[in-house]
Structure 1
Amino acid sequence: MLFQQIATTVAAAAEHEALAPLIAPPFVVGITMFVILLVMLFVTLSYGNLGKRHEAVEEHADPHRQHPNKHDHGLGH
């Protein structure tokens, strides 16, 4: 029932509205969006090697920190 009312309202509204003008043909807009997303993909992938620059170093327990790491169980390493 509700779906039928929504569909009727959308159909009635669509009959009287004109299409919005585009700044370029649809295929140009699509290609431009695709190129922008591709550039963003390559920028993202270029940061993939940051974690491989050096070996991971164990974090030492600093007693002067405001919220020290409590996972060392008082060993102070």
Structure 2
Amino acid sequence: MLIQLSSAALMAAEVAEEHAETSPFVYGGVIFAIFMVLMFATMAFTSLGHRHEAVPEHVDPQRQFPNKHDHGQGIPE
């Protein structure tokens, strides 16, 4: 998708060079459309994080940077 957006931007730049008298509203409309596509993609994938229940993290005493949220189940300090 990033390649498509970059190629569309290059095509828009080439067209802008040919037509120097492009209205600022056209640029604003193009930018607005790009942001709307990105917002749609973001909204389409928001439910992916809610598919499964959260599981507690396995307490590994050999972990280099243990978290401080293991409620005393890890290595005592």
Q: Deviations over 1:2-23 (max 9, x none)?
A: xxxxxxxxxxxxxxxxxxxx56
Structure 2: runs of 5+ lacking an equivalent: 1-19
* Structure 1 residues 31 and 73: CA distance shift in structure 2, 3 A: closer
Give the number of the structure whose residues are more often helix, by fraction.
2
Structure 1: runs of 5+ lacking an equivalent: 1-21
Determine what percentage of the aligned residue pairs are the same residue.
55
Alignment equivalent of 1:64, drawn from 46, 55, 62: 62
The alignment yields a C-alpha RMSD, in angstroms, of: 2.3
Task: Give the corresponding residue for 1:34.
Answer: 32
Alignment partners' CA distance in 2, 1:73 and 1:52: 25
Q: Report the TM-score when normalising by structure 2.
A: 0.56
Which has the larger Rg? 1
Matches within 5 A, 1:1-77: 22=20, 24-76=22-74
